[in-house]
Amino acid sequence: MAQPTTPNDPYQRRRAAGAASREETRRRLVVAADSLFREEGYPATTVVAIAKRAGVSLQTLYLAWGSKRSLLRAAAAATAVASETPVDSDEWRSIIRSELARDAGDDPTAGAYLAAASRLFVRVADRTGIYWRMYLQAAASDPEVASDWTEIERDRRHTMEDVARHVPARGLRPDLTPEDVADTLWALASPDVYHLFRTEGDRDSLAYQTWLERTLIGALCVT
């Protein structure tokens, strides 16, 4: 019969140290990939260059992340939360809920909540806009990246559905369903519209935020 382990068990300590080392290696690879993607672009960045900048072997890179494509997704996810460590979809939605609850204040109206959502989306968009462009450019010639982008957009839809469920009823148009609210958020607080304002329209982030807040409140709230 196996003996129970204790917090000071050498085997457990070695396992914990090994897990921490692997996580640190993964983090360093994400940081290295992020810097190279920004400097060189996704197509021109090689896994050899990423491994070299992270100070690890190519084999270690493949064991840790599997592919350059996986590192692109990890770097984009880490950038979204202004971290060196990516989060999964459930963690991301939890972060969104917490930030909106804090920013919207106690007992907010629908309008106050949507204004907070506009501010949060623009903060995230300013950080991750570079990765949206990378994905759209790479997806045009790489079917696997295109598949990843489709999945990212599906996750974005789920996030907007989660935000929509938490918009307060006070001040919200009574004829709208949560799906109606999610549709509006998903369409207006989107990479495409952000890109139109910031790049094609040559407008700054504040202009987009002001427009987004005004448009969301106008579409979803009782006037």
Listing DSSP states for 111-128 in one string gives HHHHHHHHHHHHHHHHHH
Is the pLDDT assigned to residue 7 strictly greater than 80? no
Is the pLDDT assigned to residue 58 strictly greater than 70? yes
Q: Is the separation of the CB atoms in 42 and 72 below 8 Å?
A: yes
Report the C-alpha gap between 188 and 185 in whole angstroms: 5
With pLDDT > 70 as the criterion, what percentage of the chain qualifies? 92
Q: Is the separation of the CB atoms in 173 and 222 below 8 Å?
A: yes
pLDDT band at 148 (very low <50, low <70, confident <90, very high): very high
pTM value? Answer: 0.84
Please give the CATH architecture assigned to the domain spanning 1-87.
Orthogonal Bundle (1.10)
Where in the chain do CATH 1.10.357.10 domains reside?
Answer: 1-87, 88-223
Domain 88-223 sits in CATH at 1.10.357.10
Query: Phi and psi dihedrals of 172, rounded to 5?
Result: -80, 140
Q: Is the separation of the CB atoms in 178 and 165 below 8 Å?
A: yes
Identify the pLDDT of residue 9: 76
Is the pLDDT assigned to residue 82 strictly greater than 80? yes
Per-residue pLDDT, averaged over 87-103, amounts to 91
pLDDT band at 22 (very low <50, low <70, confident <90, very high): confident
pLDDT band at 11 (very low <50, low <70, confident <90, very high): low
Q: For the residues of 38-56, what is the DSSP string, one character each?
A: HHH-TTT--HHHHHHHHT-
Report the C-alpha gap between 190 and 178 in whole angstroms: 18
